[in-house]
Amino acid sequence: MTRDRLDPGSATRSDFAGAPTHGEDTQAEALQRAFVAIYKELLASLEGPLGSRDAALDALQDASLKLASEPEIGPVRNPYAYLRRMALNLGRNRRRAVARFVPVDKTWLDAIADEEPDPERIAAARADLASTVAALDELPERRRLVFLDKWMHGLSLDEIARSRGIHRRTVQKELERTAAFLRARAAQSP
């Protein structure tokens, strides 16, 4: 079969089964010729597996572009099966890629809470921290140090008691008094 005789849709897949390349044609060029000749049959065979005529047309377009790039292709015994599988794989890849992209309405995105604090919240948190640090300065030294050992350094009650030379129950009482004091201060602030 020569290039002159190729008429899209006039050949069938049996015309190309095991067809050798002609002259100096590469395997890709031979497959391009076969692709043109059996285009309608490929389209019909892809509509069902890909779900629509449009999906089949897209897959065949992708296959045509891939063949036009003249990739290195080894020997092909059945060009119809090779071209059909190529188009089917490209169609499924396209469907997967489209399925990964989910269009989202911008108004819906705006409704999602942002986990990051806004500048106003950051400023409020810094002000709260500053007032807490100032309030801690008003505490007796032992009470302040016990509180800092617990909340800044993460020491256990027993570790604080040992390091400060006081009873565990005293550590508990100091922490309770500090918590009550800080709650009262927080309630007073605007």
Task: Report the chain's mean pLDDT, rounded to a whole number.
Answer: 82
For residues 67 and 30, is the Cβ–Cβ distance under 8 A?
no
At residue 25, does pLDDT exceed 90? no
Give the model's pLDDT for residue 98. Answer: 80
Give the model's pLDDT for residue 11. Answer: 47
Domains within the chain, CATH numbers bracketed = 3-100 (no CATH), 119-184 (1.10.10.10)
Of 65, 64, 82, give the one whose Cα is nearest residue 73.
Answer: 82
List Cα–Cα distances, 127 to 8, 120, 185, in angstroms: 77, 11, 13
Share of the chain above pLDDT 70, in %: 83
Cβ-count burial 29-59 (b if 16+ within 10 Å, e if not): bbbbbbbbbbbebbbebbbeebeeeebbebb
Q: Label residue 13 by pLDDT band (50, 70, 90).
A: very low
Span 114-138, average pLDDT:
85
Span 112-130, average pLDDT:
83
- Put simply, whether the predicted model's pTM sits higher than 0.75 gets the answer no
At residue 125, does pLDDT exceed 60? yes
Distance between CA atoms of 160 and 145, rounded to whole angstroms?
9
Span 113-142, average pLDDT:
86
Give the model's pLDDT for residue 180. Answer: 92
Q: What is the pLDDT of residues 39-77, one digit of tens each?
A: 999 999 999 998 889 999 999 999 999 888 878 888 888
Give the model's pLDDT for residue 10. Answer: 44
Q: Label residue 155 by pLDDT band (50, 70, 90).
A: very high
At residue 105, does pLDDT exceed 80? no
